[in-house]
Amino acid sequence: MVTICIGKVDQAKGQKIQLDANELVSNDEFALPEKNAFGNSFRDYEADNGRKDIVEQHYESSHINQTYGFVKQMREEYMKLDKAEMGIWECCELLNEVVDASDPDLDEPQIQHLLQSAEAIRKDYPNEDWLHLTALIHDLGKILVLPKFGGLPQWAVVGDTFPVGCAFDESNVHHKYFKENPDFNNPKYNTRNGVYIEGCGLDNVLMSWGHDDYMYMVAKENGTTLPSAGLFIVRYHSFYPLHKYGAYSQFMNEEDKENFKWLKVFNKYDLYSKSKVLVDVEKVKPYYESLIAKYFPAKLKW
C-alpha cells in the first residue's frame, strides 16, 4: 500500500507541518469557471436548463427507495463481483454509453468527465499520479446502469450519496422526498445517530447504494495499491452533505479527517472541470494506461 503524507516538512527542524484543505489547493493553475456547460451556476437544481425536471425526478426516486434494507441487499449482491472480468481502461470505454441523469452541470458521456477532471488535477498536481488515476476511475461504477451489470435504475447508481440507518439530514438536495421513505418514520433509523455511534468511522456507516460504493468495493477487493486517500475519494466523492455542509461529520474518525483533506482537493476538480471542451482520448490514453498498470492488476472482477 502506498503511503502519502498530507503536510510539508520544516527543513530546519525536520518536522511535518500539517496543512488544511485550503493550503493543499494550488490557486494559480486550474481556474474555477463561473458557469457550467449550460451557462448556469454549478449544482443549481432550480435552473431551467432542460434538465431540471429530469434531475428532480431522479432525486425523488432515490430518496424514496434508498432504505437501509435496500442498501444491505445491494451490497450483498454486488460483493460477489460476478458480473464481468475486465481491465480499467476497458471499463472507461464502457462509459461512452452512460449519461448521468442526476447531473445538472453536464450531459456529455461520462468518459469525458473522467478525463476532464483527471487532466485538470494532473496540471496542478503533476507529481501525485495516484490522484490523477483516482480522478480517472472515480465514476467507473456508473456501469451499473448497463444491462451486463444489473441494469440498475439511475436512482440506484448516481446522484448525491447519504448515510442510511440514521436521520436524513436537511442539507440533502430535495430533502422533501425523504418523507416518503419507509425509514423516515422508523424510530430505529430516524434519530441523529440511528444505528451508529459517534466517531465510529465512515467505513462502518452504510451509504446509499450507487457507483461510489460499488467502485470502492471493486478496487479494494481486486487489490489496488492506491493509497487510502484515493479509496476514500472514490467512496465519498458524491457525499455532498458532508463536503458542503459538514453533515454527518459526527461519524468521522481521525483517519477519515485526514483523508477528507484530499477529498476537498479532489472535489474542486470533480465539480468545476466539467466542460463542453472535450479531451483528446487517444492522446492521453498511454499515460493513464501506465498508471493503471502501476496501481491495478491487468484484469479485475466486477
List all residues 6 or more positions away from 14 whose beta carbon is below 8 Å from its beta carbon. Answer: none
237 is in an annotated binding site: yes
142 is in an annotated binding site: yes
The pLDDT of 112-137, averaged and rounded, is: 94
Instruction: Report if pTM > 0.95.
Output: no
| CA distance linking residue 236 with residue 302, whole number of Å | 19
139 is in an annotated binding site: yes
208 is in an annotated binding site: no
Closest CA to 172 of 184, 183, 182, 163: 163
113 is in an annotated binding site: yes
211 is in an annotated binding site: yes
pLDDT of residue 124 exceeding 50, the answer is: yes
Give per-residue pLDDT as tens, 65-94: 999 999 999 999 999 999 999 999 999 999
51 is in an annotated binding site: no
43 is in an annotated binding site: yes
Alpha helix locations (H) across the chain?
A: 21-24, 52-65, 68-78, 88-94, 110-124, 129-137, 211-221, 228-236, 240-245, 254-272, 281-295
275 is in an annotated binding site: no
Give per-residue pLDDT as tens, 223-278: 999 999 999 999 999 999 999 999 999 999 999 999 999 999 999 898 765 556 78
Q: Please state, rounded to an integer, the average pLDDT across all residues of the chain.
A: 84
List all residues 6 or more positions away from 125 whose beta carbon is below 8 Å from its beta carbon. Answer: 26, 131, 132, 265
Closest CA to 66 of 161, 197, 186, 146: 161
pLDDT value at residue 73: 98
Q: How confident is the model at residue 97 (pLDDT cuts 50, 70, 90)?
A: confident
159 is in an annotated binding site: yes
Residue 51 near residue 146 (C-beta atoms within 8 A): no
pLDDT value at residue 276: 64
